[in-house]
Structure 1
Amino acid sequence: MRIHQMNCGTFAGRMPTRVLLVETPGGLVLVDTGIGLRDIADPAARLGPMRHAMRPRLDADETAYRRIEAMGLDPREVRHIVLTHMDFDHIGGLADFPEAQVHVSSEALTWAARTPRWIERRRYRRAQWAHGPDFVEYTYGTDRWEGFRVHPLDRVLEGMILVDLPGHTVGHAGVLVPGDPRDPGELDVLHAGDAFYLRGQIDPSVGYPRAVAVAERTLSLVPSAVDLTHARLAALAGRRGADLRVVCAHDPAGPGGVPG
């Protein structure tokens, strides 16, 4: 098993959308998709007015589909896609993998697609799931991991879990991907989605522009939860740093980022 971190969409010339690709014996698994081929073909309909603020680079070579091809793998082997949330820069590639099951928290799917409020109706892009994905949804129960509410995703990959990380959107989640126990260099990876934007927000040894926090609050749909989620992720990264990588979607630093 191998875990790849890929940039599948660049915004404002610098901000990546980090996607995980996991090679498993049963096929390929994606954590988020980034911008998709159809988004590039019709950005007005698929991305909406926010494209003017975020200024996406509409480059087909940056899509998950093309990234997978460039690795010498077959995109048709993507069997599962696990979503952190349903913002347009995270789900645009769903239609590129129509046969994949799409795994998402029930809260996220409900507030995006079933009973959106005024703000969700303007934020989410229904065209990105108009092709009718095979959604599989999850509601958290009593399971816990490192103090977080979780739901096991063993039907996708043994040891993979959906992790409740509230703040950015209603139903926002992280996804824990277990490393290969046969390879000591392949650590577990927690893709935290948009639970934070830059490493410095959960690592006090790393500086970051304070304007980032303002932008994060502006885009958050559950702002009261942001600070607590940061604190819990910081504590997790501190105690598990030797065997766990905690990554987010848009930090330019690290694997899958945007070269300076």
Structure 2
Amino acid sequence: MIEGPDGLVLIDTGLGTQDIMRPKHRIPGPILNTVLGLALDQKETAITQVRALGLHPRDVRHIVLTHLDFDHAGGLADFPEAQVHVFTDELHNFLNSANPIDMIRYSQEQIAHQPDWEVHELEGERWMEFEAVRAMTVGSSDILLVPLAGHTRGHCGVAIRAGDGWILHSGDALFDLNELDPEGRHLPVGLRTFENMLQYDREKRIQNVERLRELKKAHGDSIHFICSHDPDGFEADAADGIKEFASTRIGRAEML
């Protein structure tokens, strides 16, 4: 969660309150549920944690989705007034795909409330080593949408300006921050198998891992990297690292 100039911004939502109450209807893949070890706990939902910080859910004005997998988009219905930012390719694939893998990764129930979509085309300016990068909102360059297709068709990284540097949330383009190691350390066998099973485009995914690795090598002193499923990185950021990094420019940042 980012405290932006016109309200709060969430990067993904995790599971939502309705997912916890009705998992059989809203979580499409029982196998994925087991593999991911999902915590079906209301206290873990973004809306509960926003309230615990003394903030109102209506203050969440924007949600930027790295992608629409059910474990990233389940909480959309908890913030029905927020504008939801997503790449065109991701939303199109979500709404139209008949691919068996997509049937277990996407949950149509999670968007039954008809979110207020802000759909972004794959076009924009160059940022670091990446092309077609665009701002979340017109007139601001503090939050950028970075194409990182591969895990899903329209997967999106999110770059957040923090003082003279950046925070880059790579979503599921990385499953473990050790993948950024200059020697190219590989995922553990279980995670690698899981990623190979789910990936939309293996070639694009591997290419983007390489680009992120090069980005870390060239600009690691000014970019703080985040990914969605690395517990060690999450714990370190939740402690104090992300707040220290972000406080100079965009206000408070919290890891929920």
The TM-score, its normalising length taken from structure 1, stands at: 0.83
Secondary structure at the aligned position of 2:232 is classed as coil
2:15 is the alignment partner of 1:31: no
Give the deviation of 1:139 after TM superposition.
0.8
2:45 is the alignment partner of 1:66: no
2:131 is the alignment partner of 1:120: no
Q: Cα RMSD over matched residues?
A: 2.2
Residues 202-224 of structure 1: CA distance to partner in whole angstroms, max 9, x if unpaired? 11479665313232212211112
Residues 68-88 of structure 1: CA distance to partner in whole angstroms, max 9, x if unpaired? 112222222000000010000
Aligned mates of 1:66, 1:156 — CA distance in 2: 32
8 Å contact kept, 2:177–2:233: no
Amino acid at match of 2:173: A
- Cα 1:207–1:227 shift into 2, 3 Å: closer
1:75 equivalent in structure 2:
57
2:174 is the alignment partner of 1:196: yes
Amino acid at match of 1:42: R
Pick from 188, 200, 203 the counterpart of residue 221 of structure 1. Answer: 200
Gaps of 5+ in 1: 1-20
Aligned mates of 1:119, 1:81 — CA distance in 2: 25
Residues 123-158 of structure 1: CA distance to partner in whole angstroms, max 9, x if unpaired? 210000011000110112252211312122234954
8 Å contact kept, 1:110–1:116: no
Amino acid at match of 2:73: I
1:5 equivalent in structure 2:
none
Aligned mates of 1:61, 1:198 — CA distance in 2: 25
Secondary structure at the aligned position of 1:230 is classed as helix
Secondary structure at the aligned position of 1:253 is classed as helix
Greater Cα offset, 148-157 or 35-44 = 148-157
Amino acid at match of 1:30: L
How many residues were matched structurally? 234
Aligned mates of 2:137, 2:83 — CA distance in 1: 14
Pick from 228, 233, 240 the counterpart of residue 219 of structure 2. Answer: 240
8 Å contact kept, 1:112–1:121: no
Aligned mates of 1:72, 1:206 — CA distance in 2: 42
2:161 is the alignment partner of 1:178: yes
Aligned mates of 2:72, 2:126 — CA distance in 1: 26
Instruction: Write the mapping of 1:132-147 to structure 2, written as runs, cut at 5 A.
Output: 132-147=114-129
1:13 equivalent in structure 2:
none
1:231 equivalent in structure 2:
210
Secondary structure at the aligned position of 1:176 is classed as strand
8 Å contact kept, 1:194–1:250: yes
Amino acid at match of 2:181: D
- Cα 1:256–1:132 shift into 2, 3 Å: farther
Aligned mates of 2:170, 2:144 — CA distance in 1: 12
8 Å contact kept, 1:163–1:174: yes
Give the deviation of 1:165 after TM superposition.
0.6
8 Å contact kept, 2:8–2:61: yes
Aligned mates of 1:47, 1:173 — CA distance in 2: 22
Identity %: 39
8 Å contact kept, 1:175–1:191: yes
- Cα 1:207–1:71 shift into 2, 3 Å: farther
Secondary structure at the aligned position of 1:103 is classed as strand
Give the deviation of 1:246 after TM superposition.
1.4
Gaps of 5+ in 2: 239-256
8 Å contact kept, 1:151–1:161: yes
- Cα 1:54–1:120 shift into 2, 3 Å: same
Aligned mates of 1:219, 1:209 — CA distance in 2: 15
